[in-house]
Amino acid sequence: MTEPDMELWDLRVVVDSIGGRSVCGLAVGDSFELTDSAQLRIPEGRHFCVYALQSVLPLLPAKQRDLPAADWLERDTLVACPDPEERLVMRIERTRKVRLVSEDLT
C-alpha cells in the first residue's frame, strides 16, 4: 500500500446571499461539497443550479491547495453567479485537509 504523498482541502460551497429574485430555486444556506479531490456531493433531495456551479468550478482546484498568504485566492472566498437578475453569491469554505496518494488520482 502506497503512503499518502499530498494534501488537499475538502471544500463546501454555500449560497451566502441572494440580492435579487431566485429563479433557480436555490436559497441562502444551500450547498454542495467537493471531497477527496474530485467527488462532488449534493445533499440528498436538493439540487444546485448548473449556472452557479459553472461559475465556481474553475476556482475549486486552487482552493483545495494551500496558497501563499499574499495570493488573492487565499484571501477571497466569494464567487458570484453570472445571472444578473439573481445576484447570487456563494462562499467557498475549506472543511478538512485530507492526505491522498497522488497516483490514485486522475
* Each residue's pLDDT tens digit, 9-49: 999 999 999 999 988 999 999 999 999 999 999 999 999 99
Q: What is the pLDDT of residue 2?
A: 86
Can you read off the three cell numbers belonging to residue 28?
Answer: 441562502
Q: What is the pLDDT of residue 5?
A: 87
Rg (CA), the chain: 15
Q: Is the pTM of this model over 0.75?
A: yes
- Edge-to-edge strands of the sheet including 31-35? 39-41, 31-35, 6-18, 88-100, 78-80
Give me the amino acid identity at 17: S
Please count the other Cβ atoms lying within 10 Å of the Cβ belonging to residue 88. 27
Cα–Cα dist 74/62, whole Å: 9
pLDDT at residue 1 tops 80: no
pLDDT tens digit sequence for 52-95: 999 999 999 999 999 999 999 999 999 999 999 999 999 999 99
